[in-house]
Amino acid sequence: MACCSRLVFTRILDRIAGLAGWRALLAAFALGALAALALPPVHAVPVLLLSIPGLLALLGAARGWRRAAALGFAWGWGHHLAGVYWVTHAILVDAATWWWLVPLAAPGLALPLAAFCVPPALLARALPAGWPRLLGFAGAFVLAELARGVLFTGFPWNLMGTVWAFGALPVQAASVAGVHGLSLLTLLLAGLPSLGRVRPMLAGAAVLALLAGFGAWRLADGSAVASGQPPVEVLLVQGNVQQSMKWAPEEREAIFNRYLRLTHDALTHAKRVLKPGSEILVIWPETASPFLLAQDPEARRMVAAVLSAVPATLLAGTVRADWDAAGRLERVFNSLVALDAAGEVVALYDKAHLVPFGEYMPLSGLLPVRLAAGGMDFSAGPGPVTLRAPGVPPFGALICYEVIFPGAVAPAPRPHWLVNITNDAWFGHSAGPWQHLAAARLRAVEEGLPLARAAQTGISTLFDAYGRRAGLLPLGVEGTLRVPLPAALPPPIFARTGLVLPFGLSILIVLLGFVLGRGPVGDALLA
């Protein structure tokens, strides 16, 4: 049976390798799009067993460097087009203005992302078939992922390792080598059918079993570290405010009152069921407040009227502004503000990693259109910082897509937990919010820190330091979720080494590919 299956699969790869001209490019594009099914929320990981070997087969048959580069680009374009199709939803929020961008947004974003697939393709074509090609491709692909997280402000979205983020058990290896380490392992395992032998496939199954065993062992560990403070109840508030009405002037008061009402009702219930003296922390999503909350005494008075009855502390997303001496608006920030039960500002964080075209315009003044909302770019804050608020363990704040950057989410000194506020209303009921959620789960595992996530329209949840989910407010639901704040873990390996380990492993894998593919040492090892 195994031999028969291997024969069938080999024939499929031979058919793919035999394609030429536009058919080969179309096949590469289709294989890339197929690989996107492994990403959240589908997580059809087995499709990679065809997508990656199929691409390697095409590259092995490529005549010339230009052809290999075109095939790699086509695969990357198909993969990222299918993976980020949801950006079109943001355009449809104001379709009357930006209708002409609807057919261009997702393909346009996928184009620069596809370019990162060209170097791995070129390296794969340069190496002999078998282990050398697979190792070189996998290592170079992860190096390209690492570069994608840095170049042009960085966009490490849909990293290959996120295919495992459907549960806590399969992502525990991220505590050692991060999501990029998972990417490297995923590509190596997915490429095994390209070797054309049963033994490597059996070895791959054994590796998966070992990973599952490691995950189960780690999840059974009880080494979480208490914060040294009284237990804290986290109350996530999801207003389910649609993006089309979020900034409408006539809706401001209604939106603010909605968050106050949801908070009041949840706190009233919590007061009845919790022990006296329990610390309660309320979290509102990114820009939940339609007012300049940190600078609006009346809005803070209304918040205090709700918080003081318990009492509780509020972390709220809001816009913050600076004015010059003449009273002119100088800067605006996308911020998180912490208010105590009296409505006083006790902590503040300004988003540091801004979204190009969404929060600021690159090459300002040179582009013919302005896509960023409002008449002024947001200003960037100084960067990650550990915040403190009365009765709350020290925490790190991440606004929106700041959570997608591995190795860059935990400030020093190390916080006890992380909070991610976001507004995914831009992307509707699409794969985007689920992909964002997967990134948050991975950051919790990498850093060994609980992570609370409050989203405007969902998905709101809390992950413990192992990436286990405690409750869920799904997409498109108005409501609240109250869960105890879990303890942190001692810093895992990735939290101590950051991106150094996956970078070093990827370099070693590429070098091993060259050793196996070139010279007497490789011939001896392959003999």
Cα–Cα dist 475/458, whole Å:
4
Is 400 known to be catalytic?
yes
Q: Pick the catalytic residue from 279, 286, 446, 447.
A: 286
Cα distances (angstroms) measured from residue 313 to each of 146, 343, 503: 38, 9, 40
Please answer whether residues 149 and 509 qualify as being in contact, where contact means their C-beta atoms are separated by less than 8 angstroms.
no
CB 124 within 8 A of CB 59: yes
What SS3 state is found at 122? Answer: helix
| CB of 280 closer than 8 Å to CB of 236 | no
Q: How many CA atoms lie within 13 A of 478 on its CB side?
A: 13
User: 3-class SS at 75?
Assistant: helix
Report which residue type is found at 135: L
Asked if 351 is an active-site residue, the reply is: yes
Q: Which of 331, 336, 332 is nearest to 348 (CA)?
A: 336
Please pick, among 117, 351, 359, 402, the residue that the annotation labels catalytic. 351
Distance CA 46, CA 53 (A): 12
- Catalytic choice (246, 400, 402, 446): 400
448: left (phi over 0), alpha (psi -120 to 50) or beta: left
Using CA atoms, how far apart are residues 444 and 149, in angstroms rounded to an integer?
18
Per-residue DSSP letter, 46: G
Active centre residues (catalytic):
286, 351, 400
